Amino acid sequence: MMSGHDCQIMGTFGQEGLEPHNRSLGLISRVIKDVGATVETGSEYRQYGKESLAIRLSGSSGVNYRISVHFNRRVARLMGHRLNEMDFDDSSFIGAFMHPFRGMMEFDIHWYDLRDGDWQSICIHDRRDAPPECWPGDHIATTIQLLNDDLNSALLPEMSTLRRELRISYPIAWAAGQTPSEVRFFQVANYVSDLELLDGTSSLEEFMELREAM
Query: Residue 107, class by beta-carbon neighbours within 10 Å (0-12 exposed, 13-18 middle, 19+ buried)?
Result: buried
Q: What pLDDT shows up at residue 8? A: 84
The Cα 116–Cα 124 span in angstroms is 22
Given a contact cutoff of 8 angstroms between Cβ atoms, the answer to whether 163 and 191 are in contact is no
Amino acid letter, 55? I
Amino acid letter, 63? V
- CB atoms closer than 10 angstroms to residue 195: 23
Alpha helices, DSSP H, located in 61-117: 73-80, 91-98
Query: Residue 55, class by beta-carbon neighbours within 10 Å (0-12 exposed, 13-18 middle, 19+ buried)?
Result: buried
Q: What pLDDT shows up at residue 99? A: 78
DSSP H helix total and E strand total for the chain? 9, 5
Which residue, 61, 62, 45, is CA-closest to 53?
45
Query: Residue 7, class by beta-carbon neighbours within 10 Å (0-12 exposed, 13-18 middle, 19+ buried)?
Result: middle
Going by the DSSP 8-state scheme, the letter that residue 104 receives in this structure is G
Amino acid letter, 154? A
Query: Residue 204, class by beta-carbon neighbours within 10 Å (0-12 exposed, 13-18 middle, 19+ buried)?
Result: exposed
What is the pLDDT tens value at each position of the chain, 214 positions in all? 445 566 788 888 988 888 888 999 999 999 999 999 999 887 565 666 788 999 999 999 999 999 999 999 998 888 888 777 777 666 566 667 777 888 889 999 999 999 999 999 998 865 554 445 678 899 999 999 999 999 999 999 999 999 999 999 999 999 999 999 999 999 999 999 999 999 999 999 999 999 998 8
Query: pTM for the full model?
Result: 0.88
Instruction: For the chain, give every domain's residue range.
Output: 4-152
The Cα 99–Cα 120 span in angstroms is 29
